Structure 1
Amino acid sequence: MQDWVRDDLVGTGAQARYLIRFTLPVVPLLALFLLIPGPLWIGLAMMALLFIPLVYFTIALMNVYRRHRLLVHGLDPALLNADAQARVDRTREDYERRHGRLY
Protein backbone atom coordinates (compact mmCIF):
# COMPACT_ATOMS: atom_id res chain seq x y z
CA MET A 1 0.00 0.00 0.00
CA GLN A 2 3.02 2.35 0.20
CA ASP A 3 2.81 3.12 -3.51
CA TRP A 4 -0.82 4.15 -3.09
CA VAL A 5 -0.04 6.27 -0.02
CA ARG A 6 2.88 7.97 -1.81
CA ASP A 7 0.69 8.76 -4.80
CA ASP A 8 -2.12 10.00 -2.55
CA LEU A 9 0.15 12.35 -0.60
CA VAL A 10 2.61 13.62 -3.22
CA GLY A 11 1.14 12.62 -6.58
CA THR A 12 -0.81 14.69 -9.05
CA GLY A 13 -3.76 16.40 -7.38
CA ALA A 14 -2.62 15.62 -3.82
CA GLN A 15 -3.36 19.14 -2.56
CA ALA A 16 -6.87 19.12 -4.04
CA ARG A 17 -7.61 15.69 -2.53
CA TYR A 18 -6.38 16.92 0.85
CA LEU A 19 -8.62 20.01 0.77
CA ILE A 20 -11.63 18.00 -0.34
CA ARG A 21 -10.97 15.37 2.31
CA PHE A 22 -11.10 17.98 5.08
CA THR A 23 -13.72 20.44 3.86
CA LEU A 24 -16.38 18.40 2.08
CA PRO A 25 -17.57 16.42 5.15
CA VAL A 26 -18.16 19.67 7.04
CA VAL A 27 -20.44 21.24 4.41
CA PRO A 28 -23.58 19.25 5.36
CA LEU A 29 -23.09 20.16 9.01
CA LEU A 30 -22.69 23.82 8.14
CA ALA A 31 -25.78 23.66 5.95
CA LEU A 32 -27.80 23.15 9.13
CA PHE A 33 -27.32 26.88 9.77
CA LEU A 34 -29.67 27.48 6.84
CA LEU A 35 -32.49 26.01 8.93
CA ILE A 36 -32.26 28.83 11.47
CA PRO A 37 -35.23 31.17 11.04
CA GLY A 38 -34.45 34.57 9.59
CA PRO A 39 -32.95 36.00 6.44
CA LEU A 40 -30.82 33.73 4.30
CA TRP A 41 -27.75 35.92 4.69
CA ILE A 42 -27.61 35.25 8.44
CA GLY A 43 -27.32 31.49 7.88
CA LEU A 44 -24.73 32.02 5.16
CA ALA A 45 -22.75 34.41 7.37
CA MET A 46 -22.69 31.87 10.20
CA MET A 47 -21.52 29.21 7.77
CA ALA A 48 -18.77 31.51 6.50
CA LEU A 49 -17.62 32.30 10.03
CA LEU A 50 -16.79 28.63 10.52
CA PHE A 51 -15.87 27.60 6.98
CA ILE A 52 -13.31 30.32 6.20
CA PRO A 53 -11.09 29.59 9.24
CA LEU A 54 -11.44 25.86 8.53
CA VAL A 55 -10.11 26.33 4.99
CA TYR A 56 -7.38 28.69 6.22
CA PHE A 57 -6.05 26.27 8.84
CA THR A 58 -6.47 23.30 6.53
CA ILE A 59 -4.21 24.97 3.98
CA ALA A 60 -1.79 26.18 6.66
CA LEU A 61 -1.35 22.69 8.13
CA MET A 62 -1.36 20.78 4.83
CA ASN A 63 2.37 20.00 4.78
CA VAL A 64 2.45 19.13 8.48
CA TYR A 65 -0.35 16.60 8.10
CA ARG A 66 1.00 15.13 4.85
CA ARG A 67 4.51 14.82 6.33
CA HIS A 68 3.05 13.03 9.37
CA ARG A 69 1.16 10.58 7.17
CA LEU A 70 4.33 9.85 5.19
CA LEU A 71 6.20 9.12 8.41
CA VAL A 72 3.41 6.91 9.77
CA HIS A 73 3.54 4.81 6.60
CA GLY A 74 7.33 4.50 6.67
CA LEU A 75 8.01 6.84 3.74
CA ASP A 76 10.58 9.62 3.48
CA PRO A 77 9.04 13.01 4.37
CA ALA A 78 11.41 14.65 1.88
CA LEU A 79 9.08 13.38 -0.86
CA LEU A 80 6.92 16.46 -0.25
CA ASN A 81 9.73 18.69 -1.53
CA ALA A 82 10.98 16.41 -4.30
CA ASP A 83 9.41 18.44 -7.14
CA ALA A 84 10.71 21.75 -5.82
CA GLN A 85 14.18 20.28 -5.30
CA ALA A 86 14.18 18.87 -8.83
CA ARG A 87 13.33 22.34 -10.19
CA VAL A 88 16.15 23.92 -8.15
CA ASP A 89 18.59 21.27 -9.40
CA ARG A 90 17.57 21.85 -13.03
CA THR A 91 17.95 25.60 -12.64
CA ARG A 92 21.36 25.18 -11.02
CA GLU A 93 22.56 22.81 -13.76
CA ASP A 94 21.31 25.19 -16.44
CA TYR A 95 23.12 28.09 -14.79
CA GLU A 96 26.34 26.13 -14.44
CA ARG A 97 26.13 24.95 -18.05
CA ARG A 98 25.75 28.52 -19.31
CA HIS A 99 28.14 30.34 -16.97
CA GLY A 100 30.45 27.71 -15.53
CA ARG A 101 31.13 27.07 -11.87
CA LEU A 102 31.66 30.13 -9.72
CA TYR A 103 33.46 28.45 -6.84
Structure 2
Amino acid sequence: MTRARRRPNPVEWIGYAFGRRLPDSLHDWVREDLTGKYAVARHLVRGLVPFTPLFAVFMFFPGALWLRGSMVLLAVLLALFYTAAFMPMNRAHRLAKHGLPADLENPERARKREEERARYAAQYPH
Protein backbone atom coordinates (compact mmCIF):
# COMPACT_ATOMS: atom_id res chain seq x y z
CA MET A 1 0.00 0.00 0.00
CA THR A 2 1.40 3.40 -0.94
CA ARG A 3 1.48 6.26 1.47
CA ALA A 4 -0.38 9.44 0.56
CA ARG A 5 1.98 12.18 -0.56
CA ARG A 6 2.06 15.32 1.51
CA ARG A 7 2.65 17.93 -1.22
CA PRO A 8 2.51 18.16 -5.01
CA ASN A 9 5.79 18.34 -6.87
CA PRO A 10 6.61 21.65 -8.65
CA VAL A 11 5.23 20.50 -12.03
CA GLU A 12 1.98 19.33 -10.43
CA TRP A 13 1.70 22.59 -8.47
CA ILE A 14 2.11 24.69 -11.62
CA GLY A 15 -0.54 22.56 -13.34
CA TYR A 16 -2.76 23.05 -10.27
CA ALA A 17 -2.22 26.82 -10.51
CA PHE A 18 -3.39 26.65 -14.13
CA GLY A 19 -6.51 24.68 -13.10
CA ARG A 20 -5.49 21.03 -13.44
CA ARG A 21 -6.73 18.39 -11.03
CA LEU A 22 -4.23 16.85 -8.62
CA PRO A 23 -4.10 13.10 -7.88
CA ASP A 24 -6.44 11.68 -5.23
CA SER A 25 -3.48 11.11 -2.91
CA LEU A 26 -3.24 14.91 -2.48
CA HIS A 27 -6.85 15.58 -1.42
CA ASP A 28 -5.75 16.44 2.12
CA TRP A 29 -3.25 18.93 0.73
CA VAL A 30 -5.92 20.48 -1.53
CA ARG A 31 -8.32 20.77 1.42
CA GLU A 32 -5.64 22.52 3.49
CA ASP A 33 -4.60 24.71 0.55
CA LEU A 34 -8.14 25.95 -0.06
CA THR A 35 -9.42 26.18 3.52
CA GLY A 36 -6.31 26.46 5.69
CA LYS A 37 -4.94 29.34 7.70
CA TYR A 38 -3.31 31.23 4.81
CA ALA A 39 -5.73 30.17 2.06
CA VAL A 40 -6.34 33.74 0.85
CA ALA A 41 -2.65 34.55 0.46
CA ARG A 42 -2.03 31.22 -1.28
CA HIS A 43 -4.96 31.86 -3.60
CA LEU A 44 -3.62 35.30 -4.57
CA VAL A 45 -0.14 33.93 -5.29
CA ARG A 46 -1.56 30.95 -7.19
CA GLY A 47 -3.77 33.33 -9.20
CA LEU A 48 -0.74 35.30 -10.41
CA VAL A 49 1.13 32.26 -11.75
CA PRO A 50 -0.79 32.03 -15.06
CA PHE A 51 -0.05 35.71 -15.70
CA THR A 52 3.73 35.51 -15.27
CA PRO A 53 4.40 34.97 -19.01
CA LEU A 54 2.42 38.13 -19.72
CA PHE A 55 4.42 40.04 -17.10
CA ALA A 56 7.65 38.83 -18.70
CA VAL A 57 6.50 39.87 -22.20
CA PHE A 58 5.73 43.38 -20.92
CA MET A 59 9.38 43.74 -19.91
CA PHE A 60 10.44 43.26 -23.55
CA PHE A 61 8.30 46.12 -24.87
CA PRO A 62 10.21 49.11 -26.17
CA GLY A 63 10.52 52.10 -23.89
CA ALA A 64 12.11 53.19 -20.68
CA LEU A 65 12.51 50.68 -17.87
CA TRP A 66 10.20 52.67 -15.59
CA LEU A 67 7.46 52.53 -18.23
CA ARG A 68 7.80 48.77 -18.68
CA GLY A 69 7.87 48.33 -14.90
CA SER A 70 4.71 50.41 -14.66
CA MET A 71 3.02 48.18 -17.21
CA VAL A 72 3.94 45.11 -15.17
CA LEU A 73 2.77 46.76 -11.94
CA LEU A 74 -0.57 47.67 -13.50
CA ALA A 75 -0.98 44.13 -14.83
CA VAL A 76 -0.14 42.66 -11.39
CA LEU A 77 -2.66 44.96 -9.68
CA LEU A 78 -5.39 44.06 -12.18
CA ALA A 79 -4.61 40.35 -11.86
CA LEU A 80 -4.76 40.60 -8.06
CA PHE A 81 -8.06 42.48 -8.24
CA TYR A 82 -9.73 39.87 -10.44
CA THR A 83 -8.17 36.98 -8.53
CA ALA A 84 -9.58 38.37 -5.28
CA ALA A 85 -12.95 39.21 -6.82
CA PHE A 86 -13.51 35.68 -8.10
CA MET A 87 -11.95 33.89 -5.13
CA PRO A 88 -15.15 32.29 -3.73
CA MET A 89 -16.20 30.92 -7.12
CA ASN A 90 -12.70 29.65 -7.96
CA ARG A 91 -12.38 28.05 -4.53
CA ALA A 92 -15.73 26.25 -4.83
CA HIS A 93 -14.83 25.09 -8.34
CA ARG A 94 -11.44 23.71 -7.24
CA LEU A 95 -13.01 21.93 -4.26
CA ALA A 96 -15.68 20.33 -6.45
CA LYS A 97 -13.10 19.40 -9.10
CA HIS A 98 -11.18 17.45 -6.46
CA GLY A 99 -14.28 15.67 -5.16
CA LEU A 100 -14.61 17.77 -2.00
CA PRO A 101 -17.75 19.64 -0.87
CA ALA A 102 -17.91 23.02 -2.64
CA ASP A 103 -19.01 24.74 0.59
CA LEU A 104 -16.11 23.38 2.66
CA GLU A 105 -14.59 26.04 4.89
CA ASN A 106 -11.86 26.55 7.44
CA PRO A 107 -12.78 24.48 10.54
CA GLU A 108 -11.46 27.15 12.91
CA ARG A 109 -13.51 29.87 11.20
CA ALA A 110 -16.63 27.65 11.26
CA ARG A 111 -16.14 26.95 14.98
CA LYS A 112 -15.79 30.67 15.77
CA ARG A 113 -18.91 31.49 13.74
CA GLU A 114 -20.92 28.84 15.60
CA GLU A 115 -19.71 30.18 18.95
CA GLU A 116 -20.72 33.68 17.94
CA ARG A 117 -24.16 32.48 16.85
CA ALA A 118 -24.60 30.67 20.17
CA ARG A 119 -23.60 33.81 22.11
CA TYR A 120 -26.02 35.89 20.05
CA ALA A 121 -28.85 33.39 20.56
CA ALA A 122 -28.18 33.33 24.32
CA GLN A 123 -28.14 37.13 24.50
CA TYR A 124 -31.17 37.70 22.25
CA PRO A 125 -33.59 34.79 22.61
CA HIS A 126 -36.61 34.64 20.33
How high is the TM-score relative to the length of structure 1?
A: 0.74
Of residues 62-71 and 81-90 in structure 1, the stretch that sits farther from structure 2 once superposed is 81-90
2:117 alignment partner AA: R
Q: Alignment RMSD, CA only?
A: 2.5
Which has the higher relative contact order, 1 or 2, with Cα contacts under 8 A spaced 6 or more apart? Answer: 1
* 1:33 and 1:46 in contact (8 A); partners too: yes
Task: Identify the structure with the greater helix proportion.
Answer: 1
Percent identical among aligned pairs is 37
Question: d(CA) in 2 for partners of 1:20 and 1:70?
Answer: 18
Q: Say how many residue pairs are matched.
A: 101
* 2:51 and 2:79 in contact (8 A); partners too: no
* 1:67 and 1:80 in contact (8 A); partners too: no
1:7 equivalenced with 2:44 (yes/no): no
Task: Please identify the structure whose Cα radius of gyration is greater.
Answer: 1
Match of 1:35 among 48, 60, 63: 60
Provide closer, same or farther for how the CA distance between residues 5 and 36 of structure 1 changes in structure 2, counting only shifts above 3 A.
closer
* 2:34 and 2:91 in contact (8 A); partners too: yes
Question: d(CA) in 2 for partners of 1:33 and 1:11?
Answer: 34
- Consecutive unaligned residues in structure 2, runs of 5 or more: 1-24
1:76 equivalenced with 2:101 (yes/no): yes
How high is the TM-score relative to the length of structure 2?
A: 0.63
Q: 2:125 corresponds to which residue?
A: 102
1:14 alignment partner AA: A
